[in-house]
Amino acid sequence: MTLCADVTVARGALTVELDVEVADGEVLAVLGPNGAGKSTLLRVLAGLLLPDGGRVAVGRAGGEHDVWDDVAAGVHVPAHERRLGMVFQDHLLFPHLSVADNVAFGLRTRGVRKAPARAAARDWLARVGLAELGDRRPGQLSGGQAQRAALARALVGEPALLLLDEPLSALDARTRLTVRAELRRHLAEYAGSTVLVTHDPVDALALAGRVVVVEEGRVVQAGTPADVSRHPRTDYVARLVGLALLPGTGDGPVVRLDGGGAVAVAEETAGPVFVAVRPESVALYLDPPHGSPRNVWPARLVSATPHGSTVRCELDGEVPLVADVTATAVAELGLTPGTPVWAAVKASEVAVYAR
């Protein structure tokens, strides 16, 4: 049940041109900033939006394909005739139906009789841990419960394609953690293709086997989550995964940065390269440090934001960097925005790869 989609959609000034393929059982995360065209892609796949060009096809068990959209051939299968399930950002459970009726809705519209539809709904509610709540109205559920119910509603018909539109972004931080873990488990069991749209790299890294990064309607990078996070190809991806990404030119053990300055690296390179520095590799000092670190730059603290157990410090200077330091260190150094600091990074902690 492979999904093959290569579509063009004009959305005002933005032209979305995306080409994605998702194998059976695979989860593809479409990662990108707001307005990049991620949701547009999802709406096209769902059949809610007519593409201006291209083709969408879903494989069948026999190896053949069901064509859902083929603009050149004038083919468009409407949303309700596509075997898919979709989970929306704010669950969109029908407020006038009970949770169980919500889950059974897709089965009923596809002709399943009342009793078996109810039974299947109960079964799925149990699988997502809501066995007791089937008779409630969606308004009586917590955010996490509602999103679980929405997942059950999308999956109950065993669709060929599962579309997840920012499924965790409306949840608070703690709920997101648990729902994400459950979602991961359900996705692992799901046999069809999944497309997950998100602007949160953690979702993408945690849930997807493959990531495409979309910016301004185009795929700017594709690969495994590890690959993308280790070797970001655009500033956006780098910042997203927490890396400072510095373009430069390799010159033996040193990379001369395009923005000025140089970085000592552990391996010798030549030609255009990216230098990536992980925030936890950056140490901050009030006075120039002496000793092993081979890269030391003067900088000024722009902002300090608590980030889990550490504080993420954004630095401005010849070499713009991001540093993750402990809260204790922030207090001891008396760091406030505007403080002049020295940033130090060991050469062995700097990643360098060809552009």
Partner 1 sequence: MRRPGGSGVPLPLLVPAAIGTLFLVLPLLGLVVRAPWSDLGARLAEPGVGQALRLSLLSATLATTASLVLGVPIAWVLARTRTRGRSVLRALVTVPLVLPPVVGGVALFLVLGRQGIVGRWLFETTGVTIPFTTLAVVIAETFVAMPFLVISVEGALRAADARFEDAAATLGADRWTTFRRVTLPLVAPGIAAGAVLCWARALGEFGATITFAGNFPGTTQTMPLAVYLALQSDPEAAIVLSLVLLVVSLATLLLLRDRWLTRSGAAA
Q: Is the dihedral of CA 92, 22, 24, 108 positive or negative?
A: positive
Question: CB of 344: closest distance to partner 1 in angstroms?
Answer: 50
Question: Given the complex with partner 1, which of 78 and 337 has the nearer CB atom?
Answer: 78
| 167 near partner 1 (CB under 8 A) | no
Residue 333 in the binding site for partner 1 (CB under 8 A) = no
Cα–Cα distance, 335 to 212 (Å, whole number)? 37
CB 96 → partner 1: shortest distance, Å?
Answer: 4
The size of the interface with partner 1 (CB under 8 A), counted in residues, is 26
| Rounded (10°) angle between helices 99-109 and 114-127 | 130
Give alpha helix (H) positions in the chain.
38-46, 99-109, 114-127, 143-155, 173-189, 201-207, 225-230, 235-240, 327-333
Rounded distance, CA 212 to CA 306, Å? 28
Q: Which residues contact 186 (CB under 8 A, 6 or more apart)?
A: 127, 128, 151, 155
Restricting to residues 95-124, name those near partner 1 by CB under 8 A.
95-97, 105-106, 109-110
Token match 């499924």: residue?
167
Nearer to partner 1 among residue 12 and residue 63 (C-beta): 12
Stretch near partner 1 under the rule CB under 8 A, chosen from 92-100, 124-132, 172-180, 276-284:
92-100
Q: Which residues of 65-74 are buried (b: 16+ CB within 10 A; e: fewer)?
A: beebbbbeee
Q: Between residues 43 and 210, which has the closer beta carbon with respect to partner 1?
A: 43
157 binds partner 1 (CB under 8 A): yes
CB of 163 to partner 1, least distance (A): 8
Least distance from partner 1 to the Cβ atom of residue 279, Å = 37
Q: Please, what is the minimum distance in Å from the beta carbon of residue 160 to partner 1? A: 12
CA dist 240 and 230 (Å) reads 11
Which residues between 59 and 88 bind partner 1 (CB under 8 A)? 78-82, 84-86, 88
CA angle (321 as vertex; 320, 324 as ends), nearest 5: 160
Subset of residues 21 to 50 that bind partner 1, contact rule: CB under 8 A: 43, 46-48
Q: Does 180 bind partner 1 (CB under 8 A)?
A: no
**Would you count residue 201 as binding partner 1 (CB under 8 A)?**
no
Report if residue 293 touches partner 1, rule: CB under 8 A: no
Q: Helix, strand, coil % (nearest 5) of the chain?
A: 30, 40, 30
Decide if residue 170 touches partner 1 (CB under 8 A): no
Q: Of 118 and 153, which CB lies nearer to partner 1 in the complex structure?
A: 153
Cα distance between residue 88 and residue 98, in whole Å? 18
Angle at 88 between CA 90 and CA 61, to 5 degrees: 160
State the residues that interact with partner 1 by CB under 8 A.
Answer: 43, 46-48, 78-82, 84-86, 88, 92, 94-97, 105-106, 109-110, 153-154, 157, 163
